Structure 1
């Protein structure tokens, strides 16, 4: 059974996050709502060295520990259904990684409905190219959660086309890797998921795709090339509608000759490593132990 903290959080999310977008009208209201400010909170900037720069018309934050020059980097791509800005929970996760002695690059990519997937890859490639001036690919990790995890995987698949090396590792938390939401087990899981509404996800996917086929590998990287990937760490809870596709991705990477590592938490909700709960703390500790090996 999941922890009391997880169950209480799930109840609150069901009321405040899922129910308002279980109808098409509600989903479209959220889609068109004003975006939050992506800037890191004050506690974060007081503890770390933070700089912001513009790359290809979008902002990217570089975060360093208070002291020292790290030789290892993480490119962290935040989630939010391709619609919502980076949140305080994301900045907490970034802080944990920075405090392990990493340079962390946080790209603030354009969001739907104002932007689509067609604009994001040039930006992310440019951010990664800049990052390689500071650390080698052998000491660089791509990480992300939810939509950001899908982007991190799609970016990794796209790098050879730009003549760039792939990172040493992929760390994917509750990855959204199939925008078609066509896995037959999703309706069964959706009843247990207190956060993600398929109605909402389909509206967000439609806006992000911008008229393109959502099955395209740039949108659904589970359909892209899975050969020659670096080691891939997958974190997923069983009360997450992305659970079936994450397990499928794990199996497909293994079939392609890769080395996936699936961290599965019974009863845990979407992006549970980011949330304040015993399950989240255990997963974060596992993530940080893995990063120390890079």
Structure 2
């Protein structure tokens, strides 16, 4: 049964966020007025360092150092919004529950940037992090797009050991017919408002091009992958499609949380807490147990 906290969250999202993507015009307006990045919270500041290069920033939050590898969290925000407080909350959870250092790339955003600008920075960041391999990537929404693309770019080289994709935007064209049906249930996202953002981010490419839409890229030889998505989320359509297209022997788990909206593991709900615990378990199974405090 869906918790009352999730029902409240859905109502709040519909009242405060749905208008940002309801129409093409709303999407263009949102793109021109993206949310600024939230600062590193006080609880993490003492463990955080920031390096600026190639048009972005790499924030590193040190863990206990117990256990191999490190995490990279690629934040969502439809490629137009900076990292938000709920993303920092997930960073703190991961640092405490896995013992690993978490690296947070703050990549260039639309409309000033397109995907090639982001990859100039992300490739430079990845090169810096190579000594900390294996890396486990966590990405939500647009960050999930980037996480899967990054894993595809590094297939077979041993850099990326595992993936968690939270409500990933897998097809920027939103061409799946199921998207329109799910939009009636989704309290947050509407394809009409997201499509102009996708076209801007694609920088002249077809939004369905595999360079920007990982659903159409190579899906074989990927690391162990966990996908978490709510049933009331337009991103569910292509998460289901990912499960259909992935090779039969893929180490892929797609969990659909009944009644939950977009990015549910980032929400302060019982379902969100279970989602965060699922991420921790997958990280520890993939990288090795190390320590676990939460």
TM-score by shorter chain over 0.5:
yes
CA contact (8 A) 1:234 1:250 kept: no
Structure 1 residue aligned with 2:246, among 253, 270, 286? 253
Does the alignment pair 1:200 with 2:201?
A: no
Give deviations 1:12-58, integer Å, cap 9, x for gaps: 11111012431222222211015413431223315xx1000013231
Alignment-derived partner of residue 102 in structure 2:
104
Residues 1:34 and 1:251: Cα distance change in structure 2 (over 3 Å): closer
Alignment-derived partner of residue 45 in structure 2:
45
- The TM-score with structure 2 as length reference comes to 0.92
Q: Which runs of 5+ in 1 are unaligned?
A: none
Give the 3-state SS of the residue equivalent to 2:101 in structure 1.
strand
Matches within 5 A, 1:132-171: 132-133=130-131, 135-137=132-134, 140-159=135-154, 164-171=157-164
Matches within 5 A, 1:26-175: 26-33=26-33, 35-46=35-46, 49-65=47-63, 67-68=64-65, 71-99=68-96, 100-133=98-131, 135-137=132-134, 140-159=135-154, 164-175=157-168
Give the 3-state SS of the residue equivalent to 1:51 in structure 2.
strand
Give deviations 1:130-170, integer Å, cap 9, x for gaps: 1122x232xx211100010111111111125xx95341111
Q: CA RMSD in A?
A: 1.7
Give the 3-state SS of the residue equivalent to 1:113 in structure 2.
coil
Per the TM alignment, residue 4 of structure 1 is displaced from its structure 2 partner at its CA by 0.7
Give deviations 1:48-100, integer Å, cap 9, x for gaps: x10000132311101113x5576320111000011111100000001111112
Alignment coverage as a number of residue pairs: 285
Give the 3-state SS of the residue equivalent to 1:8 in structure 2.
helix
Per the TM alignment, residue 285 of structure 1 is displaced from its structure 2 partner at its CA by 1.1
- The TM-score with structure 1 as length reference comes to 0.92
CA contact (8 A) 1:6 1:277 kept: yes
Give the 3-state SS of the residue equivalent to 1:29 in structure 2.
helix
Q: Which has the higher contact order (CA 8 A, sep 6+)?
A: 2
